[in-house]
Amino acid sequence: MLTDEQKEQIEIENKAISKNIHNIRHRILVFSGKGGVGKTTVSVNLAYGLRIKGYRTGLLDADVTGPDVPKMLGLTGEMHVHERRIVPHICHDLKVVSIASLLQPDQPVIWRGPMRSKVLHQFLGDVEWGKLDYLVADLPPGTGDEIISLTQKMEPDLAIIVTTPQEISLIDSARAINMARKMNVPRIAVIENMSGLICPVCATHIDLFGTGGGEKQAELMGVSFLGRLPIDIEARKMADNGKPVILENINSDISVALASIVDNIEEMLNERHQSTTKQ
């Protein structure tokens, strides 16, 4: 049973989170049923795609035990605290928060679920996000404690499930879709990543993992399909060097596909915002 002091602390925390998130117009969760599907790459490039369109955007690295966002952005150094508020890093006009900024490069996060959830609550309530048009949260894979906790606290407008066309990935992404439904996320959508390989020599499209599985799954499960992203070797190299492909090569096939997905997200959430306003 909670003590009165613990109850008071939880109430203070909830008020801080509520105040913060209601300064953010749209809140997007990006997650997957399994690891290795390119979820973080998608999150990073979607956040920058929204920023390119002029939206005030933040990126929350919510994968506490595997925080890779700073590596993909070339971010180094610790986060600063001002008047007991965490100040996000600014990277190419994008506000970024990650626990990796509080750790040594190879330091593992060996925490149980409640501790991981606690730090995510701090990232929602104690970070000086300011007024944003979009906050993109890159969640850990699976359906664990921190995903449940963050979804409850963040009140997202949209959950994006990233999958590959492979059958094994689709099985896990179906679980992620159903979890988003159980958490009452109002909009759910699928992105099919690694949908074909573009040969760097001859530019031939090779269906390395198959194609179309994500779109078919979205149709069968009654959720939106945002688009497909090809495997791009140069994009992988850029990510390893802290350079998001949508910033470095806006005309590449994968960047064009990402821009189309951003347009779809914009249209989807603006429609919801307008219908909510009319009610």
**Of 130-134, 194-198, 270-274, highest mean pLDDT:** 130-134
Judge whether residue 212 has pLDDT over 90. Answer: no
Give SS3 for 95.
Answer: strand
Q: What is the pLDDT of residue 196?
A: 79
* Mean pLDDT calculated for residue range 126-133: 95
Pairwise pLDDT comparison (58 vs 140), residue with the higher score: 58
Pairwise pLDDT comparison (226 vs 205), residue with the higher score: 226
How much of the chain, in percent, has pLDDT values that exceed 70? 94
Per residue, what are the HEC states of 124-168? Answer: HHCECCCCEEEEEEECCCCCCHHHHHHHHHHCCCEEEEEECCCHH
Beta strands in the chain, from DSSP E residues, in sequence order: 24-31, 57-61, 80-82, 85-87, 89-91, 94-98, 132-138, 158-163, 187-192, 197-198, 205-206, 224-228
Pairwise pLDDT comparison (12 vs 60), residue with the higher score: 60
Give the model's confidence band at 278: pLDDT under 50 very low, under 70 low, under 90 confident, else very high: very low
User: Which stretch of 5-19, 167-181, 203-217 has the lowest confidence by average pLDDT?
Assistant: 203-217
Instruction: Give bridge partners of residue 16 from the DSSP assignment.
Output: none
* Mean pLDDT calculated for residue range 47-67: 94
State the CB neighbour count (10 A cutoff) for residue 130: 12
Judge whether residue 4 has pLDDT over 60. Answer: yes
| CB-based burial label for 25 (10 Å; 0-12, 13-18, 19+) | middle
User: What does pLDDT average to over the chain?
Assistant: 88
Report the CATH number of the 13-278 domain. Answer: 3.40.50.300
| Distance between CA atoms of residues 189 and 84, nearest Å | 36
Q: What is the pLDDT of residue 192?
A: 94
Q: What is the pLDDT of residues 221-267, one digit of tens each?
A: 999 999 999 988 889 999 999 999 999 999 999 999 999 999 999 99
Q: What is the pLDDT of residues 58-116, one digit of tens each?
A: 999 998 888 999 999 999 888 888 888 899 999 999 999 998 887 766 777 776 777 88
Q: What is the pLDDT of residues 24-35, one digit of tens each?
A: 999 999 988 888
* Mean pLDDT calculated for residue range 33-62: 94
Q: What is the pLDDT of residue 272?
A: 58
pTM for this entry: 0.90
Q: What is the pLDDT of residue 30?
A: 96
Q: What is the pLDDT of residues 158-175, one digit of tens each?
A: 999 999 888 878 888 999
